[in-house]
Amino acid sequence: MRALFPGSFDPITQGHQDVLRRAALLFDEVVVCVMFNASKTGRFPIAERLDRLRAAAAGLGNVTVDSHTGGLLVDYCRRVGIDVVIRGVRGVADLDYEMPMARMNHELAGVETFFIAADPALAHISSTLVTAMGQHDRVPNDDLGDREAADPAVEGAAAGRRHAGHA
């Protein structure tokens, strides 16, 4: 079965990577797709997000990377023949946000939503938080033992800001 893991991935975080790895174990094929979100202002260009997703998917043979910037998620699903959408949820607030969309996707196109609970060690991470840390050239300490490296997206956000001339 094919599944779609959509998001703005602006930037991709360790939480996204964890959900992607876990989804790849559950589905025959996972398409991770940069989607346009009208309620968010893009921080990184689509091409850079796609490159970062390809790097995150390295070693996951059943994962492909794509983008869809025009139309609804269900339009993309219909076009490529996908009936399942994967969403990572960090807590109740995420679920409250995702449930109406899941119901609408099902009503419009019969697309089911498969929720993957965030790893508790990563549940506090969001793209917004990663970007905020990067804007201040801050990389949080990692006291998780087996996760020795800080989130590369934080460092990428800081580098992207410096590259854009905001340092």
What is the amino acid identity at position 154? V
Q: Which residues are catalytic?
A: 16, 40, 90, 127
pLDDT, mean of residues 66-79: 93
**Cis-peptide into 11, omega within 30 deg:** yes
Query: Quick check: helix, strand or coil at residue 103?
Result: helix
Q: Could you tell me which of 118, 127, 93, 103 has the C-alpha nearest to residue 13?
A: 127
Pinpoint the alpha helices (H) of 4-151.
14-26, 46-57, 73-80, 92-109, 127-135
Tell me the torsion sign for CA atoms 28, 67, 99, 82. Answer: negative
Amino acid 39: pLDDT: 72
Q: Which two tokens stand for residue 131?
A: 């970007």
Q: What digits encode the pLDDT tens for the residues 46-58? A: 999 999 999 999 9
Residue linked to tokens 């300490």: 141
Angle at alpha carbon of residue 24, lines to 123 and 26, rounded to 5°: 95
Q: How does the average pLDDT of the chain come out, rounded?
A: 80
* pLDDT given at position 13: 87
3-state secondary structure of 109: helix
Residue whose C-alpha is closest to residue 83's, from 12, 27, 25: 27
| pLDDT on residue 144 | 37
